[in-house]
């Protein structure tokens, strides 16, 4: 175990000493680009949600009026995007990684069609910091706050 720790320290030391200003600037640039893109996508989707989305009475039908091949293709794509967003949200929830982790996880869950997602969505959205952040964002774009079912 101690050997592994020393090898890890050696590897990290080698990585840090091999860094150039070009590498650092590239990393900072990628950080800024991905952070900005994440904020734009997450904000756009949260603003477009209907205020009643998290109520039990809200319809969850997706493209029911489309041809079945188009509908199924859309469902598959929507679920793949949802999985990617959850993975990205989990990564952004780690310390030192930029981004809105919980909001991205919530958006990923919204896009998935899995059993038992409603209670998980509700538990996430009921967190005061998440709900307040979403409603402040919606208010900036003159959208009504999200309406939740009474507990």
CB-CB contact of 134 with 46 (8 Å): yes
Report the domain count for the chain: 1
Tell me whether residue 147 is in a domain. no
Name the token pair of 110: 């919204």
Examine residue 110 and state whether it is found in any structural domain, yes or no. Answer: yes
Range of the domain at 45: 21-51+63-140
pTM above 0.75, yes or no: no
| Signed CA dihedral, 109, 110, 112, 114: sign only | positive
Query: Is 1 domain-assigned?
Result: no
> Does residue 150 lie within any of the structural domains?
no
The verdict on residue 85 lying in a domain is yes
pLDDT tens-place string over residues 71-105: 888 889 989 999 998 998 888 877 766 667 777 88
For residue 23, CA distances in Å to 9, 35, 91, 101, 133 come to 20, 18, 21, 25, 34
In a domain, 124, yes or no: yes
Q: Please report whether residue 57 resides in a domain.
A: no
Residue 16 resides in a domain: no
Q: Predicted confidence band at 138 (pLDDT cuts at 50, 70, 90)?
A: very high
Give the C-alpha separation, 107 to 104, whole Å: 5
| 5-56 pLDDT, tens digit each | 888 888 878 877 887 888 888 878 888 887 888 788 888 888 998 898 888 7
């Amino acid at each position: 175990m101690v050997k592994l720790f020393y090898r890890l320290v050696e590897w990290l030391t080698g990585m840090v000493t091999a860094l150039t200003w070009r590498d650092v600037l590239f990393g900072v640039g990628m950080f800024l680009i991905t952070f900005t893109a994440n904020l734009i996508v997450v904000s756009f989707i949260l603003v477009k949600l209907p205020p009643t989305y998290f109520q039990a009475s809200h319809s969850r039908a997706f493209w029911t009026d489309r041809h079945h091949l188009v509908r199924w293709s859309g469902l598959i794509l929507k679920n793949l995007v949802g999985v990617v967003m959850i993975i990205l949200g989990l990564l952004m929830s780690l310390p030192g990684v930029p981004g809105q982790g919980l909001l991205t996880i919530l958006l990923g869950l919204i896009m998935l069609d899995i059993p038992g997602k409603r209670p998980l969505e509700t538990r996430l959205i009921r967190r005061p910091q998440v709900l307040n952040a979403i409603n402040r964002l919606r208010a900036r774009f003159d959208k009504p706050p999200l309406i939740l079912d009474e507990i």
